[in-house]
């Protein structure tokens, strides 16, 4: 009986502790970086334990701040809007290696602006 219990316990241990499991906990915290394109600046955001993302983009061209609000999946896919109400998008991927990149767009101020962003976890 003991041998059977140990065998089952060992099997469950290997099944339940895979290092490939994706969890939101790998991404929780503060992320920051730069964005470029038809506008330039810095961005920062915070990923909460429920995947909610909040932050700001700061334009060094217009000296203005734009809010970022959205959601991050357990695999690191970021989908957020820029501005309130939504005037653009901030989308991309955050990695377990603490790097991130993606695309952004913003319709305010006109004409619409767009480009790419990169950053890392702080």
For the chain, the domains span 23-121
Q: What is the pLDDT of residues 54-92, one digit of tens each?
A: 999 999 998 999 999 999 999 999 999 999 778 999 999
> Which architecture, in CATH terms, is 23-121?
Beta Barrel (2.40)
Confidence of residue 102 (pLDDT cuts 50, 70, 90): very high
Give the integer Cα–Cα distance in Å for 43 and 60.
11
SS3 content of the chain, % helix, strand, coil (to 5): 15, 50, 35
In tens, the pLDDT along 21-63 reads: 678 999 999 999 999 999 999 999 999 999 999 999 999 998 9
Q: Reduced to 3 states, what is the DSSP secondary structure of residue 108?
A: coil
pTM: 0.81
Find, among 87, 86, 78, the residue nearest to 117 by Cα: 78
pLDDT digits 0-9 by tens, 8-20: 454 444 444 444 5
């Amino acid at each position: 009986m003991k041998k059977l219990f140990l065998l089952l316990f060992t099997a469950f241990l290997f099944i339940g502790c895979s290092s490939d499991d994706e969890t939101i906990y790998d991404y929780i915290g503060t992320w920051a970086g730069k964005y470029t394109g038809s506008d330039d600046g810095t961005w920062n955001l915070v990923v909460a334990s429920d995947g909610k993302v909040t932050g700001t983009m700061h334009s060094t061209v217009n000296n203005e701040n734009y809010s970022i609000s959205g959601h991050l999946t357990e695999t690191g896919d970021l989908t957020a809007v820029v501005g309130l109400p939504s005037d653009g998008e901030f989308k991309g991927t955050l990695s377990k290696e603490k790097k991130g990149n993606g695309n952004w767009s913003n319709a305010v101020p006109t004409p619409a602006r767009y480009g790419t962003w990169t950053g890392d976890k702080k």
